[in-house]
Structure 1
């Protein structure tokens, strides 16, 4: 999950609009141009523009970079301060957790959205023959994919592997990479993304 992919997905409009308003408010309050915020955060100007227009659903890593550019954590940025609760639950029917949901692919974020961290956790469902293609993420990004149902083909750079239910693959995600459903049934997998 990364800048380019995030710009094409359009889940939870409410969450997008809330973040959009917050980024615009903070940027203007600090007298920053989009170019200056891009330089400070390491997030492209075009991605920031899409976020401000509510047209992009940024990953946790991108949101963290924006928050850090404003000198705050993710909770402060999205105006949802860290709760003192020891257990946080991500409900299966919480549409705010949907990163993507269409006929070919459903990606659900299993990590609490406000958490400031270097790990993201997703549930991925791919229709037969569908693929999830990603441009290279930030340098040092790795992905761990575990298949729970179906048959997947994974490509990362020039490397390829095949996975069946119960198999896992760990690969460099700072290279162009693809997950393809090679089976006749829905592919269900869990994806852990780590950033160094």
Structure 2
């Protein structure tokens, strides 16, 4: 089976799974129903832009149409299989399977009396963090904020920041960064 036929079959399978008609999907993807039918039957090779429009309409990442095995298991990270970075007691766990998506999710565990870095650092993109356990000081630009379990914060593009655990307990912070930059 050639690539166009494989892509067409995957699009058809997703459409059926979403209980959409050819006409419905074609309308949402801004193509004709006859074009979609030809794509699904491997009789037309869709442009990358058309595949992108179909992926948006089907709410599926575009890369799924190019994988040999679009098994969801590739996107699952089991707790026992997380990639980990441990440096001087500071423990990062990568919660996303790879850097191929638009977002990266991590868990940071700071032992009592530790800091994420000596000097506040900035990075491209935004970060959203949720304090899961403990209390932590966040240096955000020139301000210091005290955050407790359940508090969250958005750190805007290039804002220099660092996490400081001044307590006697560990702190666990769950955070997402877009685009991935860790």
TM-score range, shorter chain: 0.5 to 0.7
SS in 2 for 1:93: helix
Runs of 4+ in 1 over 3 A off after TM superposition: none
Q: Identify the match of residue 79 of structure 2 among 87, 92, 96.
A: 92
Alignment partner of 1:123 is 2:107: yes
| Aligned-CA RMSD value | 2.3
Q: Matched residue pairs, number?
A: 112
Deviation per residue, 1:30-88 (Å, 9 max, x gap): xxxxxxxxxxxxxxxxxxxxxxxxxxxxxxxxxxxxxxxxxxxxx9xxxxx67411243
Alignment partner of 1:111 is 2:91: no
Q: Identify the match of residue 101 of structure 1 among 86, 105, 121.
A: 86
1:93–1:159 distance in 2 versus 1, CA, 3 Å: same
1:186–1:126 distance in 2 versus 1, CA, 3 Å: same
Distance in structure 2 (CA, Å) of the matches to 1:104 and 1:121:
20
Structure 2 residues without counterparts, runs of 5 or longer: 1-62
* Residue 173 of structure 1, CA deviation: 4.8
Q: Is the 8 A contact 1:156 1:172 kept in 2?
A: no
What TM-score, normalized by structure 2, do the two folds share? 0.55
What TM-score, normalized by structure 1, do the two folds share? 0.51
* Residue 188 of structure 1, CA deviation: 0.8
* Residue 194 of structure 1, CA deviation: 1.7
Alignment partner of 1:185 is 2:169: yes
SS in 2 for 1:131: coil
1:176–1:89 distance in 2 versus 1, CA, 3 Å: same
